[in-house]
C-alpha cells in the first residue's frame, strides 16, 4: 500500500509540473498549448547538453529551465499572440504544428535513441517498506519546491495578483491599470520553466527520447482537465487522480480475477487509464473536480 502511494505520488509529480504549466497559461489566454509537452522535452535535452558541456547538475537544471522559459516567451510573442487574434482554435492548431516541428527537430538533432543524465548510480533505499531511490527523492524535492514557489508567486506577490486578476477578467484588469500583455508573457515564461523542470525530473529517473512529449500529452491534458482547465493548482489534484489510476492499472495483480497466479497489465495500459478517466470526466464533470465559478447570464 505504501509502495502504491509512493509510486502514485512520484508519477503525479511528473504530470503535475507540466499540467500546472498548461492550466496556468490556459487561465490567461484561453487555449491549451499542446507544445508545452515538447517544452519539457526541450528542457530535458538542454539540461543534458549543459551537463555534458561541463556544468554541474545544480546549475544545468535551473539554467535549462530558464532558457526554455525564454523560448516559450519567444514563441508566444512571435507565434501565439498573432494566432490568438484569429481565435483560440487557430492557436490550438498552431501549437499542435509547433509541437510536431519541435519533435522533428529533436529527431534530426538527437535521433531516436534514449538519453540519460550523467548521474551516480544509487542503490534503492527502504522507507516504510517501500522502495525509494535517491533520484525519486530529488524529483520530489525539485517538484515540491517549484510548485511551492509557483503558489507563492500566485498568492503572495503583485505579479500573482495581477495574474489572477487578468485570468478572471482580462478587460477589467486592463481597465484597472494592469499591463495584461506583460503579465501573460511572465506567466508563459513561468510555464516554460515548470514544463522544463518536469521534463528534467522525468529524465533524471529514466531517460529522455524524442517521443517523451507525445507520451506525456494525454495524461497531462487529462490531469489539467480533471483539475479544471485554468485552475493551476487544481491540476495538481488532477495529476494525483490520474497517476493513482495509472499506478492501479499497472501495479495491480489481476491474476485472481482470471484464475491465474499473476496477471499484470502491460505498462502501456497506463495511458488507457488516463484516457478512460478523461472521457468519464468530459462526460460527467467537464468543468473538473472543483467547480466554484458562478456565471449569471
Partner 1 sequence: MSEALLELNGLSKAFGAHQVLDGVSARIRPGEIVGLLGPNGSGKSTLLNAISGFLPPDAGRVTIAGTDITARPAHVVTRAGLARTFQLPNMPTRMTTREVLRAGDVAAGAPRHMLRRTGRDDRIDALLEMFRLAHVADLPASSLSGGQKKLLSVALALRGSPRLLCLDEPTAGVHPELRTEMVRILKQAAGEGTTLLVIEHDMLFIRQLCSRCIVLDRGHLIADCAPDELEHNGAVVEAYLGKAVQKGKTAR
Question: By the criterion CB under 8 A, which residues form the site for partner 1?
Answer: 156, 158, 161-162, 164-165, 168-169, 171-181, 292-296
Q: How far is the CB of 147 from partner 1 (least distance, A)?
A: 20
Cβ count within 10 A of residue 53: 8
Query: Nearest 10 degrees: CA dihedral of 253, 257, 262, 264?
Result: -50
Note whether 30 and 180 are within 8 A (CB). Answer: no
**Which of 248, 290 has the CB closer to partner 1?**
290
**Which of 268, 295 has the CB closer to partner 1?**
295
Q: How far is the CB of 74 from partner 1 (least distance, A)?
A: 21
**Which of 169, 253 has the CB closer to partner 1?**
169
| Sequence-ordered alpha helix ranges (H) in 111-169 | 134-156, 158-168
**Which of 74, 165 has the CB closer to partner 1?**
165
Q: How far is the CB of 292 from partner 1 (least distance, A)?
A: 7
Measured distance CA(172)–CA(194) in Å, rounded: 28
Measured distance CA(176)–CA(269) in Å, rounded: 49
- Which CA distances in Å does 111 have to 59, 141, 160? 26, 31, 40
Q: How far is the CB of 224 from partner 1 (least distance, A)?
A: 17
CA R_g for the chain:
19
Extract the C-alpha cell encoding 250: 499497472
**Which of 199, 288 has the CB closer to partner 1?**
288
Grid-cell match 521534463, residue found:
199
- Going by C-beta distance under 8 Å and a sequence separation of 6 or more, which residues neighbour residue 108? none
**Which of 164, 285 has the CB closer to partner 1?**
164
State the angle between helix axes of 180-205 and 2-29 in degrees (0 to 180), rounded to the nearest 10: 160
Q: How far is the CB of 260 from partner 1 (least distance, A)?
A: 51
Which H or E run includes 14? helix 2-29
Q: How far is the CB of 155 from partner 1 (least distance, A)?
A: 9
**Which of 156, 269 has the CB closer to partner 1?**
156
Q: How far is the CB of 295 from partner 1 (least distance, A)?
A: 6
Q: What is the DSSP letter of 227?
A: T
Amino acid at each position: 500500500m505504501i509502495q502504491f502511494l509512493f509510486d502514485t505520488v512520484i508519477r503525479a509529480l511528473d504530470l503535475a509540473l507540466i499540467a500546472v504549466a498548461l492550466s496556468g497559461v490556459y487561465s490567461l489566454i484561453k487555449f491549451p498549448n499542446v507544445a508545452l509537452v515538447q517544452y519539457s522535452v526541450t528542457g530535458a535535452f538542454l539540461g543534458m547538453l549543459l551537463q555534458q558541456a561541463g556544468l554541474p547538475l545544480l546549475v544545468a537544471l535551473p539554467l535549462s529551465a530558464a532558457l526554455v522559459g525564454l523560448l516559450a516567451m519567444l514563441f508566444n510573442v512571435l507565434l501565439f499572440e498573432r494566432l490568438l487574434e484569429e481565435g483560440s482554435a487557430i492557436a490550438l492548431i498552431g501549437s499542435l504544428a509547433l509541437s510536431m516541428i519541435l519533435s522533428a527537430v529533436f529527431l534530426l538533432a538527437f535521433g531516436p535513441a534514449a538519453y540519460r543524465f550523467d548521474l551516480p548510480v544509487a542503490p534503492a533505499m527502504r522507507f516504510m517498506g517501500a522502495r525509494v531511490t535517491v533520484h525519486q527523492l530529488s524529483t520530489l524535492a525539485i517538484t515540491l519546491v517549484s510548485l511551492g514557489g509557483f503558489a507563492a508567486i500566485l498568492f503572495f506577490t503583485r505579479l500573482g495578483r495581477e495574474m489572477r486578476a487578468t485570468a478572471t477578467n482580462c478587460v477589467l484588469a486592463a481597465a484597472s491599470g494592469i499591463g495584461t500583455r506583460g503579465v501573460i508573457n511572465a506567466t508563459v515564461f513561468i510555464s516554460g520553466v515548470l514544463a522544463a523542470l518536469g521534463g528534467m525530473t522525468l529524465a533524471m529517473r529514466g531517460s529522455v527520447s524524442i517521443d517523451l512529449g507525445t507520451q506525456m500529452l494525454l495524461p497531462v491534458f487529462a490531469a489539467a482537465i480533471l483539475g479544471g482547465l485554468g485552475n493551476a493548482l487544481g491540476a495538481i489534484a488532477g495529476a494525483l487522480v490520474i497517476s493513482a489510476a495509472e499506478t492501479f492499472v499497472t501495479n495491480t495483480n489481476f491474476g485472481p480475477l482470471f484464475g491465474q497466479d499473476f496477471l499484470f497489465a502491460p505498462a502501456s495500459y497506463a495511458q488507457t487509464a488516463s484516457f478512460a478517466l478523461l472521457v468519464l470526466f468530459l462526460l460527467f464533470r467537464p468543468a473538473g473536480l472543483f467547480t466554484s465559478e458562478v456565471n449569471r447570464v
